[in-house]
């Protein structure tokens, strides 16, 4: 299969492709490392490229887009981005949580990730050995593709794009065809707005039931889809998806967290950014 590659080598994130003599060795090193997600690395996924962090800085989040075309001209596009809200990226950006080597979406200097047809594999154990006293014993080492569809025929060509990367000191680089920067800024803004409003209501004596009534309308109904690729006007502004996502999370936390833990979540969400995010 013929694949074209677009990396971020100018920012220290080159791709090592199967034509490179080092590819097989690097890919095998990543596949052979123990991982909590090892079971997802089975099933015949084909390695497409290895991304190596040569920037000298930690990558907080990396988005990649892998597209295939079959002999009939049908195209399938898969999008990977990690870690966003599920990986705790907002708390890292506000300083509420540290950059954790156990989060494989954070790519430490010198670390590598194997991009395959089924997802992105690897963690930071190639540069930071796991703590033997940590009950989790290492990292979550795999992320699946999102937004794709099952291919009806065998692919004959493809494109791999490193679309968007966030560095620990704030630069957000890459073509960002999928609007990752705007989506992230919308998520951070909506988290801060909703959490600040709830904290203000709590200071005035709002109960958990009152808080539920604040967030319930925001979580009602089906979630708006995430921002689409920038191929035309966005039908759904990114803040609608962000507020629905955060409100849904808050309802679960209202159910499961005690008052102290819930307040901590809200205070963390209301924090201003500790890192100045900026486009080049």
Beta strand ranges found along the chain (DSSP E): 2-6, 15-16, 47-52, 59-70, 75-82, 112-116, 119-121, 142-144, 155-167, 172-173
Cα–Cα distance measured from residue 273 to residue 275, given in angstroms and rounded to the nearest whole number: 5
Q: What confidence tier does 120 reach under pLDDT thresholds 50, 70, 90?
A: confident
In terms of pLDDT, which residue wins out, 25 or 117?
A: 25
Mean pLDDT of 164-189: 93
The single residue listed with the structure tokens 């033997």 is 132
Confidence of residue 215 (pLDDT cuts 50, 70, 90): very high
Helix axes 238-256, 259-269, angle to 10 degrees: 160
For 43-69, what is the mean pLDDT? Answer: 88
Q: Of how many residues is the chain composed? A: 280
Q: How far apart are CA 208 and CA 143, in angstroms?
A: 35
Query: Are the C-beta atoms of 179 and 225 separated by less than 8 Å?
Result: no
Closest among 56, 77, 47, 66 to 13, alpha carbons compared: 56
Average pLDDT score over residue span 146-152: 51
Question: Which CA distances in Å does 147 have to 10, 94, 180, 193?
Answer: 28, 28, 14, 28
More confident residue, 12 or 231: 12
Regarding beta strands 155-167 and 2-6, do their DSSP bridges make them parallel or antiparallel, or are they unpaired? parallel
Give the separation between CA 147 and CA 145, rounded to whole angstroms: 7
The per-residue pLDDT for 157 is: 82
Other CB atoms within 10 Å distance of the CB of residue 93: 24
C-alpha separations of 21 from 7, 59, 160 in Å: 18, 25, 19
3-state secondary structure of 261: helix
The more confidently predicted of residues 229 and 245 is: 245
What is the separation, in whole angstroms, between the first and last Cα of the chain?
34
Q: What pLDDT sits at residue 220?
A: 87
Please give the residue that has the higher pLDDT: either 117 or 128.
Answer: 128
């Amino acid at each position: 299969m013929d694949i074209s590659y677009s990396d971020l080598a100018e920012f220290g994130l080159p791709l090592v492709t199967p034509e490179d003599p080092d590819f097989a060795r690097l890919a095998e090193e990543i596949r052979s490392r123990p991982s909590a997600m090892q079971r997802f690395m089975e099933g015949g996924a084909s390695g497409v490229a290895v991304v190596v962090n040569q920037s000298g800085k930690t990558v907080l989040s990396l988005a990649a887009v892998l597209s295939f075309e079959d002999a009939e001209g049908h195209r399938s596009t898969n999008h990977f981005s990690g870690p966003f809200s599920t990986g705790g990226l907002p708390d890292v950006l506000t300083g509420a949580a540290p950059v954790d080597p156990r989060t494989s979406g954070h790519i430490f200097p010198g670390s590598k990730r194997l991009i395959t047809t089924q997802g992105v594999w690897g963690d930071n154990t190639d540069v930071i050995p796991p703590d033997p006293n940590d009950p989790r014993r290492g990292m979550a080492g795999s992320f699946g593709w999102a937004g794709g569809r099952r291919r009806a025929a065998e692919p004959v060509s493809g494109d791999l794009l490193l679309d968007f990367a966030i560095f620990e000191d704030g630069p957000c680089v890459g073509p960002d065809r999928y609007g990752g920067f705007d989506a992230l800024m919308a998520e951070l803004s909506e988290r801060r707005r909703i959490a600040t409003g709830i904290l203000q209501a709590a200071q005035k004596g709002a109960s958990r039931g009152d808080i539920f009534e604040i967030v319930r309308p925001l979580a009602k109904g089906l979630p708006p889809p995430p921002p689409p690729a920038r191929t035309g006007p966005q039908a759904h502004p990114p803040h609608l998806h962000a507020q629905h996502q955060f409100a849904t999370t808050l309802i679960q936390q209202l159910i499961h967290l005690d008052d102290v833990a819930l307040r901590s979540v809200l205070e963390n969400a209301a924090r201003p950014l500790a890192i100045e995010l900026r486009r080049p």
